[in-house]
Amino acid sequence: MSMAGEPGMLFVGGPQRSGTSAVVDYLNRHPEVLLCMERYKWIPSREVRPELFTFERILDYRMSPRGGGREETNTPREYHEKLLAGKEPERLRWIGDKNPNYVQKLDKLSDNNPGASFILTYRPLKEVAESFEARSRDTEAPWLLGGFEEGVDYWNTAMRSTRDFIEDAMNLNVLILDYREFFNEDGPMVSLLSRFLDLTIDRDLRDAWRDMSRGFEARRRPKAPLSGEQQAYVEANRDDEAERWVLDRIEKQRRELELYPPEFARSLNEERRLSAVKIAHGRARNIQLNRRNQSLKRRLRAARSGIPPGQAPDQDRATGS
């Protein structure tokens, strides 16, 4: 959580076809959580900052700065109008956005949103690959046209990014949700979410989530299993090391749930948040120092060569330095 009176920033990401949309639907049933649905899908990650998450800005659909004649998102405005209509700003404790591709931009999001928390999803590669393949064959809504091979690439990238992000800064607030356990009403994920977000998840909300899970299972479209050749490709190209790291992290989360009382978990989360803020500010200072050093080097080179300072960058480009 952020300072009193301000909701904390929360981002949800993971491999595509790993339940990120379902996680958002579930969490948005809580009156103290507001998670957008890929609201800033086509905005560079370096521009995703807290000021984008006021109610006014969320409903202010604009054209993407990346050009191409498209808006910032393909999520209909009506979706967010309905979402925000059911939320009271003064009650919110968490606000943010979901985009599977956020898992590839964790460092940038952390730098731009000091103290932010992250929920990342894990789903076994075989299931992700099957889902990619099924969607690539859907003639009514064809996308993910790379099929199961594209799924393997996305999954490997997500596993490595999750591992590297947490390893580089162990105190960052990150929760990895196991796809299968999340939809299991008897699993530990509800308790983990409650502690991670420091929210009360009462019986009514648990019942609502259970009903959502049953509806989700009923609507799930059957997927053809991968062929023997496809399964061999998946196994040969799986990043086993990154997956083992992620699974070990999930197991560590379970152990912490059993070992630590809620009060300790709350203080640990706050300690991690403060550490994340410190890390983000340190990175920002390092970036500024590097820019100043580069500028000073250009000026020194220009002074030595007799080139006016304003022309130094052109000289740099011409020489490839």
Phi then psi dihedrals of residue 9, to 5 deg = -85, 135
* Mean pLDDT across 50-76: 95
| Runs of H (alpha helix) within the chain | 20-27, 55-58, 77-85, 106-112, 125-136, 147-168, 179-182, 189-197, 203-219, 228-237, 240-259, 262-305, 312-319
pLDDT band at 261 (very low <50, low <70, confident <90, very high): confident
Summarised one tens digit per residue, pLDDT across range 4-29 is 468 999 999 999 999 999 999 999 99
Report helix, strand or coil for 40: coil
Closest CA to 176 of 235, 103, 121, 114: 121
Neighbours of 87 (CB within 10 A): 16
How far is the C-alpha of 303 from the C-alpha of 86, rounded, in Å? 62
Express as a percent the part of the chain with pLDDT over 70: 84
- Whole-structure pTM value: 0.81
Helices 262-305 and 312-319, interaxial angle, to 10°?
90
